[in-house]
Structure 1
Amino acid sequence: MDATTQVARAVQATGDRVLLVQLPGSPADTLIDARANLFSVDFTDKSFSGFVDKVLQPLAPDAALSLSDRGAAAAALVRTRLGLSEAIANRVAVGIQGMLQEER
């Protein structure tokens, strides 16, 4: 949720299937490689739970996470609604943060 361009590129470098959920107006155009898995939706709105059920659930993600405070509640909602592990999300987040540190 709410990934920066830098985070999205780091995640894509892992080769894992990634679903990116951005707020409308976010820098989606710079995420060209992820376009097929990029969703522009207001994850701060009450209607987001319907998006989770109708769109994300059939895609069966393994984890839901956000490295930003703005996306944290939405990621928690996805984990709850889809029964995803917070431990997996935390492990992925640590890996992403490590990759970002290596880029510096």
Structure 2
Amino acid sequence: METKERFGKALRLVRLRRNLSQEAFAVVSSRTFISMLERGKTSPTLEKLDELCSVLEIHPATLVALTYMSDERDKGKSGREVLQVISRELQQLLEGSEFG
């Protein structure tokens, strides 16, 4: 499955868990665009990802992590295991950097 398709499934999962309609995103996007995202026909920019997540009331990294939970490299891992990998990688990358 392509990344765009996995992202669409993750977006739809969160939207439904939050009991939101596609129309709930009207302040940041059209219903048509949300539908295209959920069907894996397109992918958002970082700015659009941030706007979508503001409507969903989640951190953008949460939606990205969900996207990759069904990827072969993370398939079968728990959320905690994926977060541990991300945390370890962030710590390694941020050591001594301007971000850390």
Fold shared by both chains (TM-score > 0.5): no
Whichever structure has more helix as a proportion of its residues is 2
